[in-house]
Structure 1
């Protein structure tokens, strides 16, 4: 018994010093096609079953198909013309042409049918887990880890004695409550917490220069500061020592208007302030259903295209699971095909003009006057939109890789508005912490031309507010 423990200790010491064998599932490579570059000095293995799944999914115009093709290209770039023996041992991974090798990549072959399997081989997930069990038998001194976004597959692997984990490389926050809300709420009087302030009048504006210390230690550009006594300030600039805050008159702040729409609370007022600011090129609006995300974005974009003519057109797209399917079988033009998916936009357009004498006439006027285009996410790749307002609805269903693909479509003079509710994610392999909307919000929190607001409450109706809280 003592000898067995000693051997176990020696094996554990050896395992701690050897590179870990990370086996990637298909959904990880779809989530992030460059995932195999993010495991440092360890050994990455791609099961043959995963390559077969990527091959089946690579065709077509779906966003998923494009991610599969990129993942295949990344694997081919590393393996290149390596000999089968080299691939079996592992080909060095380089993250640049002149970089030193960091880690290795190899293909995990499917277990022969005559091997004893742990799980029935009729499912691809089971085949991968069986391959890992055999791999663990062949390399008892190595740590084998399955990396998958599929929670149930992780549970099955653990049940078979295989260590498993989620892919965390693009998860920047561990708790969604830690995500930047876009504002700092102070109980009582904000000025009671400030030790020093320098104030100056500049071009009709009042600017406060405050030391970067509590409560402003973790403040970011374009965040707002509000307190119980009615103070509203917007952070203009943040450096190592000083925070520059613009003093905002609350009365005029609450009376700002976009296409006849006025904010119902201070949170909507903060959102509208960012939406109408031409120096802000990216706005993320999050919040529960009915908090006003879509109607605020729509009113602001119509105001900036029809009234002030700061932008030429409005591009509206939406991320849903249904949009991953081919829309070619639906009749009509692309706009007509997209209309069933973008009913929220037309519903809010109707809400903006419900008090008009001729509501339908007002809506027709807007649709004829405003260059409003409905686009499928599948057809945005490869395009560049100049002087456009790009609204991405339901963006919580995008992966970080997908949201990067869309935001980089914004050309000169364009503005991107991302709308989403992190409590309503419909994509099976995404969570609030791994959503592309969370990733974008965290990555851009220090961007001088970006801002985000988490809307509060449900101004839609008393019924909607009660349902949001109790259902």
Structure 2
């Protein structure tokens, strides 16, 4: 086998559900789709599930690639270079007739779809013994079964993976040792209205991006990167005391991480705020407090839309009683919990919550019904977004129209999806994709402020 010899990639169903055009992302290599994958896509396309759209898109894309080919050509492989659109695919696409596989005592049980896909990989491994045959699946257990069954090469789909280790994920801020100014040589400072800006040499902060915060150990200096070029970095002087004194709907930051998050949440020039961090770090509470402040007090936005990913809700929501908001209430208990915290000192907490739900026009929406909408003049909170894929997050973010701000919160240590990990989560993807976009900011809220018990559990369990 030579390094330049094309490989054969056998795709599992979940790859096409994760990214319907995934078969175009293997460059000069050949892609094979087992017949059972088409059967699974056919079964999924009409279900009332969030992935049904992906199944339909995948089917239409495969049909577009194979529509002019004869049955013999489809089995042998059709050139992907003939597919219209922007892609670098130069290999062939083929459908493997796995129904022709013979059941033997040594073979896997072919009545199970996963086993048919694994058996297809084994058959292709024998057929193309001089080439590398790779089974690609996002199912961790299937990868283990395939290796145990004798498949030599089994991989996860990583075309949309931007980092290899979650430790390299941008935190949205730089923590410098000692005093920031002690390491700065020449500086140019200007006053623009109430704000002070500094221009320092790029060597002082060589790896920066827009809206990244800079703090040091002096408990005084805090700034935000508002621009840079090859020679200089332009900083907006914020000051730690000033940031810690910020308030939103009666909530004040408990640490500098929350202060940076609140600064981004209250900045009308920032349309996308990504808040990551452990459970109990205050992500949802800060987002809701900032939303109420800007909708009710400042009138910047007209309404608050709260949504989250609920994989099982597609089947169960229809059977729950009440309106969409009432159906969604059990899944968005974190929002109502946060509302209780914000109004716990009111004379009548229940009356206050009912009043503010109407006053702020708070809408609890199912993620499954966000497609096709155009959201205008709204403050959108997307909770638990670590369980979303990159394509799902793209669908939501592209719904945001004029005057809309979206907050994505999530804890990458609490991913519930079978097919996602911390490095393949859509939340990780957008942190990396948007980290230098002028209209976005990311803040990782280090530290648990919920309780000493929660903090100990986060650190030791």
TM-score class, shorter-chain normalisation, is over 0.9
Q: Deviations over 1:373-400 (max 9, x none)?
A: 1111110011110111111000000011
Q: Aligned with 1:17: secondary structure?
A: coil
For residue 151 of structure 1, the aligned residue among 140, 154, 158 is 140
Distance in structure 2 (CA, Å) of the matches to 1:101 and 1:428: 28
State the partner residue of 1:307: 297
Distance in structure 1 (CA, Å) of the matches to 2:208 and 2:127: 52
State the partner residue of 1:391: 381
Q: For structure 1, which segment, 260-269 or 189-198, has the greater mean C-alpha deviation from structure 2 after superposition?
A: 189-198
Distance in structure 2 (CA, Å) of the matches to 1:432 and 1:129: 26
- Does structure 1 residue 169 correspond to structure 2 residue 159? yes
State the partner residue of 2:55: 68
Could you say what the CA RMSD is over the residues aligned between the two structures, in angstroms?
1.6
Contact 1:199 1:208 in 2 (8 A): yes
Distance in structure 2 (CA, Å) of the matches to 1:219 and 1:61: 44
Distance in structure 2 (CA, Å) of the matches to 1:219 and 1:287: 21
State the partner residue of 1:337: 327
Q: Deviations over 1:212-265 (max 9, x none)?
A: 225x11111111110110210111112232211011132221111111111111
For residue 119 of structure 1, the aligned residue among 89, 108, 111 is 108
Alignment of 1:278-293 (within 5 A): 278-293=268-283
For residue 118 of structure 2, the aligned residue among 117, 129, 132 is 129
Contact 1:185 1:227 in 2 (8 A): yes
Distance in structure 1 (CA, Å) of the matches to 2:364 and 2:388: 18
Alignment of 1:437-452 (within 5 A): 437-452=427-442
Distance verdict in 2 for CA 1:196–1:294, change over 3 Å: same
Give, in angstroms, the shift of residue 51 of structure 1: 0.8
Q: Deviations over 1:376-429 (max 9, x none)?
A: 111001111011111100000001111111110101111110010000000011
State the partner residue of 2:425: 435
Alignment of 1:358-377 (within 5 A): 358-377=348-367
TM-score using structure 2 length? 0.96
Contact 2:284 2:409 in 1 (8 A): yes
Contact 2:244 2:253 in 1 (8 A): yes
- Does structure 1 residue 82 correspond to structure 2 residue 73? no
Q: For structure 1, which segment, 97-106 or 410-419, has the greater mean C-alpha deviation from structure 2 after superposition?
A: 97-106
- Return structure 1 stretches of 4+ with deviation > 4 angstroms: 97-101
Distance in structure 2 (CA, Å) of the matches to 1:314 and 1:98: 37
Structure 2, unpaired ranges of 5+: none
State the partner residue of 1:222: 211
Distance verdict in 2 for CA 1:93–1:113, change over 3 Å: closer
Give, in angstroms, the shift of residue 177 of structure 1: 0.9
Q: Aligned with 2:211: secondary structure?
A: coil
Distance verdict in 2 for CA 1:100–1:445, change over 3 Å: closer
Distance verdict in 2 for CA 1:24–1:267, change over 3 Å: same
Distance verdict in 2 for CA 1:101–1:169, change over 3 Å: closer
Distance in structure 2 (CA, Å) of the matches to 1:141 and 1:454: 48
Distance in structure 2 (CA, Å) of the matches to 1:104 and 1:343: 49
Give, in angstroms, the shift of residue 153 of structure 1: 1.5
State the partner residue of 2:94: 106
Distance verdict in 2 for CA 1:99–1:110, change over 3 Å: closer
Contact 2:118 2:151 in 1 (8 A): no
Structure 1, unpaired ranges of 5+: 1-11
Q: Aligned with 1:132: secondary structure?
A: helix
Contact 1:287 1:293 in 2 (8 A): yes
Contact 2:27 2:88 in 1 (8 A): no
Q: Aligned with 2:164: secondary structure?
A: coil
Q: Deviations over 1:158-217 (max 9, x none)?
A: 221331111010010111111110110011111222233221222232111122225x11
Contact 1:321 1:426 in 2 (8 A): no
Distance in structure 1 (CA, Å) of the matches to 2:37 and 2:147: 19
Give, in angstroms, the shift of residue 104 of structure 1: 1.6
Distance in structure 1 (CA, Å) of the matches to 2:27 and 2:42: 27
Distance in structure 2 (CA, Å) of the matches to 1:101 and 1:219: 34
Distance in structure 2 (CA, Å) of the matches to 1:200 and 1:99: 47
Q: Deviations over 1:424-471 (max 9, x none)?
A: 000011000000000000000110010010001111112211222222
Contact 1:64 1:324 in 2 (8 A): no
Alignment of 1:414-429 (within 5 A): 414-429=404-419
Distance verdict in 2 for CA 1:249–1:149, change over 3 Å: same
Distance in structure 2 (CA, Å) of the matches to 1:189 and 1:100: 49
Give, in angstroms, the shift of residue 98 of structure 1: 8.4
State the partner residue of 1:9: none
Give, in angstroms, the shift of residue 326 of structure 1: 4.2
TM-score using structure 1 length? 0.94
Distance in structure 2 (CA, Å) of the matches to 1:193 and 1:254: 24
Contact 1:61 1:378 in 2 (8 A): no
State the partner residue of 2:13: 26
Contact 2:250 2:342 in 1 (8 A): yes
